[in-house]
Structure 1
Amino acid sequence: MCVEATPPPSSRLTRRGILAGAAALAGTVAAAGPAVAGPANRGGTADAAGQAGGGTEGRGARGGNLVVQGGTLLDPATGEVIENAVVVIEAGTVRAAGRRDSVAVPQGVEVLDAHGRWVLPGLVDAHIHLSTAAEARDAVRKGATSARSGSTAFYQDIAVRELARHSPTLAPRLTAAGVFVTPDLGDTVLADPDLTPLARLKDGVRSAEALRRVVEVNLARGADVIKTRVNERAGLPEQDPLAQVYSHEQLSEIVAAARRRGKSVLCHSYSEQGCHDAVTAGIRSLEHGAFVGERTLREMRRRGTYFTPTLTAIAGLAESTDPVLAERGRTYLPALKRAVLAAHELGIPLAAGTDSSGGSVRPIGREVELMRAAGLPALDAIRTATTGAARLLGLERTAGRLARGFAGDVILVDGDPLADVTVLKQPVRVVRAGMPL
């Protein structure tokens, strides 16, 4: 059965209601106070691949003025290390950064003493599920000042994105994915009236019309990217993560529908065939990808496809009390580490993502630790959560560095991350848009 040939959903009539409902679900109304006047969907600048940016805070955001001084500054882009450094943030944006004797420090501005600590840009979590205000705050406190959603059930991520734009300390700068394009939407058909006709489809969301419908509703509701899958889930013992749920043709339909609106696609995947079908269909980033093979990796290099392995989530399976999941984690993690190292050696861009969900936000520093354990040099592992992930999100001029014109997002850590990346798991201080938490 196909979806009726109805026109694309009207964002003018329903977007405000959807955002209000998502805000209530996310718990943002109580946490953030009155909403800032302005359009609900302020999309960011798209990069060459159609990835939405969202790199600046909204018109109502009030970034802080702050001087971070005395620490050791690391620039992930160049690898340069500057001792006794100063970072000057004005209205939430870095105005100057460098050695203390080369930077003019404004008078009367709050000073954050970083002596004895290392200073880095806020980290980027390129795959996270934020469904509540509490989760959003927790992600920031653990060092993720920018993030990309891996989808939510009821558009909560779009509400979290708006929360971040007018109250930056409460949430990461977020690229929202809306709802998952998946064969069985379950209760997600209730996320928007325009999705409800899909509930009667005998075979689920599989026809070209149905696939386009979910993409269109997402984009009408303000999603920045589209999230889909090619394999079943690894975190459910009753599912087989190597079973394929969408064909190359179906994935191509999803990618084409997103591209028509200048958006890109991230794809949940595990099997080699699934990974290959997703990459050749034109996705922007491969998520998980435990058994991605050499032919697919070479295709990714040719196309510039990103790899977001979510090592943290796979490592978490090995700790499960469920024997099926624990065995799955023990089997998948070594394979995934080998794939990460092979990708790095081929020059495939890597992005760090924790795949946190369900009220448990894992520190993005843990993903950096696992990237290092997979064989990446420390600086390259750090780049997966800074410059690399920022580029994937279209934030390469906003996040990932502390340089003039970049966001005033800072973390302080106790120790040299180039010698021991595990210090990134527990930032001793986080600054979001020039405002210390």
Structure 2
Amino acid sequence: MCVESTPPPSARLTRRGVLAGAAALAGTTAALSATAPQTSATPGRARPVDGTRGGDLVIEGGTLLDPATGEVTEDAVVVIAGGVVRAAGARGRTRVPEGVETLDAHGRWVLPGLVEAHIHLNTAAEARDAVLKGATTARSGSTNFYQDIAVRELARQVPDAAPRLRAAGVFVTPDLGDTVLADPDLTPLARLHDGVRSPEALRRVVEINLARGADTIKTRVNERAGLPEQDPLTQVYDREQLSAVVAAARRGGKGVLCHSYSEKGCHDAVMAGVRSVEHGTYIGEHTLHEMLRRGTYFTPTLTAIAGLAESADPVLAERGRTYLPVLKRAVLAAHELGVPLAAGTDSSGGEVDPIGREVELMRAAGLPGLDAIRTATTGAAKLLGLERHAGRLAPGFAGDAVLVDGDPLADVTVLKSPVRVVRSGIDVRSSD
């Protein structure tokens, strides 16, 4: 079959049908029908970058941490209007508007909402759980049937129901499996005897993702660690194939995140121009230096690897026990060299791990507390292209916050259990 001879991805009518199916699978249609937005942006006020309908809220009395500077402000006030931070600072220097709902933060620390750089959100329920556990912004690691694109649209309409999301659409992988059922433009690829491997086939899957509205592209260079029958050090795409994926994504103005484990696989991915290396257990110093030179991010997903060690499957458990210390050393080496790090749990299959767990493991790998926090705030926000909108509580940034009991600089584990979460100026727990 010649993929090049197929017509371009179908126009808007097909896209609407495909995404309507994705919304039904994700349960976002029902969530939208059942939940009306609490508030909407006041006319004349700027909305966040994604056009989210935000609320008005004042968070007062807590200890405010700015991850960008490390500055700590006691008895702080954060003023959110239309889902956007208008002021943040010490009470005496921050004007508090009258008649606005107030969230009492006395005795607690206030941080920007956390940024989850690698998560698989297949349903509205998973998306809501991620928010309640502190992830107010996220990047998808792909879904089988475009459910993440549906979740992204839910987040724009009902922000307390889902994180602000960068969607990846479907996985660019040799064997699409049942994913070919997601889209009539994908079904011709099922006839390829060798799977999605030729430059034309790789480009085709990327183009279809872009046509469906993906914000980023997810591909792989190695097999999976979470399947005992696969060898995560076996390479499935070479540098030339990865370069084809990157080139197609760049033509659409998008970056690529790449599932990687072996040193050669990681190096090929970096040299092909991916935006971020995911997992990267056996990444070596030579590749880290190249990542530093190129500004390539490292998203190690320590949470997922640690989870393998707890598996009931003996192969996976041994894999997790072997990989975790190796990956921690790689994370510390990357940090000491200056390679940018981003926190991601790789949560999937209906189980959502708190992004605070990934911060905890970053700290356990040897990062100082503030730097570990930055991997889930300013660092991850920059990876997502949201460094002016997420990761801080400063004027002009999204009105997302987490409140925690205890000093996260002294004990980052408090981030695993936020006592309150604010998403785009909406107190999430009070909206139940």
Same fold by TM (over 0.5)?
Answer: yes
Task: Pick one of 119, 123, 144 that aligns with 1:153.
Answer: 144
For 2:224, the equivalent position in structure 1 comes to 233
CA shift for structure 1 position 62 = 2.8
Report if aligned partners of 1:258, 1:265 keep a CA contact under 8 Å in 2: yes
In structure 2, distance between residues paired with 1:326 and 1:34: 41
Report if aligned partners of 2:53, 2:156 keep a CA contact under 8 Å in 1: no
For 1:388, the equivalent position in structure 2 comes to 379
- What are the equivalent positions in structure 2 for 1:132-143 lying under 5 Å apart? 132-143=123-134
Task: Pick one of 63, 83, 100 that aligns with 2:74.
Answer: 83
- What are the equivalent positions in structure 2 for 1:236-315 lying under 5 Å apart? 236-315=227-306
For 1:126, the equivalent position in structure 2 comes to 117
Task: Pick one of 50, 61, 64 that aligns with 1:70.
Answer: 61
- What are the equivalent positions in structure 2 for 1:25-424 lying under 5 Å apart? 25-33=25-33, 56-58=49-51, 61-424=52-415
Per-residue deviation, residues 14-72 of structure 1 (Å, max 9, x unmatched): 11111111110100111112899xxxxxxxxxxxxxxxxx96243xx431111100000
Report if aligned partners of 1:233, 1:241 keep a CA contact under 8 Å in 2: yes
Q: Which amino acid aligns with 2:250?
A: R
Q: Which amino acid aligns with 1:127?
A: H
For 1:41, the equivalent position in structure 2 comes to none
In structure 2, distance between residues paired with 1:404 and 1:205: 46
Q: Which amino acid aligns with 1:25?
A: L
Per-residue deviation, residues 177-236 of structure 1 (Å, max 9, x unmatched): 000000000000111000001101111000111101100100000000000000000000
In structure 1, distance between residues paired with 2:53 and 2:13: 30
Q: Which amino acid aligns with 2:66?
A: D
Q: Which amino acid aligns with 2:8?
A: P
Report if aligned partners of 1:86, 1:100 keep a CA contact under 8 Å in 2: yes
In structure 1, distance between residues paired with 2:28 and 2:168: 18
For 2:41, the equivalent position in structure 1 comes to none
Instruction: Tell me whether 1:15 sits opposite 2:15 in the alignment.
Output: yes
Secondary structure class of the residue paired with 2:186: helix
In structure 1, distance between residues paired with 2:144 and 2:66: 37
Per-residue deviation, residues 370-413 of structure 1 (Å, max 9, x unmatched): 00000000000000000000000010011000000000001000
In structure 1, distance between residues paired with 2:144 and 2:365: 32
Q: Which amino acid aligns with 1:24?
A: A
For 2:421, the equivalent position in structure 1 comes to 430
Report if aligned partners of 2:3, 2:201 keep a CA contact under 8 Å in 1: yes
Report if aligned partners of 2:145, 2:169 keep a CA contact under 8 Å in 1: yes
Q: Which amino acid aligns with 2:335?
A: H
For 1:40, the equivalent position in structure 2 comes to none
Secondary structure class of the residue paired with 2:388: coil
Gaps of 5+ in 1: 37-53
| Runs of 4+ that moved beyond 3 A | none
What TM-score do the two structures reach when normalised by structure 2?
Answer: 0.95
Gaps of 5+ in 2: 37-46
CA shift for structure 1 position 10 = 2.4
Q: Provide closer, same or farther for how the CA distance between residues 219 and 319 of structure 1 changes in structure 2, counting only shifts above 3 A.
A: same
CA shift for structure 1 position 11 = 3.3
For 2:44, the equivalent position in structure 1 comes to none
Report if aligned partners of 2:62, 2:109 keep a CA contact under 8 Å in 1: yes
Deviates more, 1:2-11 or 1:402-411: 2-11
Per-residue deviation, residues 270-309 of structure 1 (Å, max 9, x unmatched): 0000000000000000000000001100000000000000
Secondary structure class of the residue paired with 2:49: coil
In structure 1, distance between residues paired with 2:29 and 2:140: 20
Q: Which amino acid aligns with 1:152?
A: T
Paired positions, count: 418
Q: Identity across aligned pairs (percent)?
A: 82
For 1:50, the equivalent position in structure 2 comes to none
Secondary structure class of the residue paired with 1:194: coil
For 2:42, the equivalent position in structure 1 comes to none
In structure 2, distance between residues paired with 1:62 and 1:292: 41
Report if aligned partners of 2:48, 2:84 keep a CA contact under 8 Å in 1: no
In structure 2, distance between residues paired with 1:166 and 1:203: 41
Report if aligned partners of 2:276, 2:297 keep a CA contact under 8 Å in 1: yes
Secondary structure class of the residue paired with 2:320: helix
Per-residue deviation, residues 43-102 of structure 1 (Å, max 9, x unmatched): xxxxxxxxxxx96243xx431111100000000000000000000000110000000000
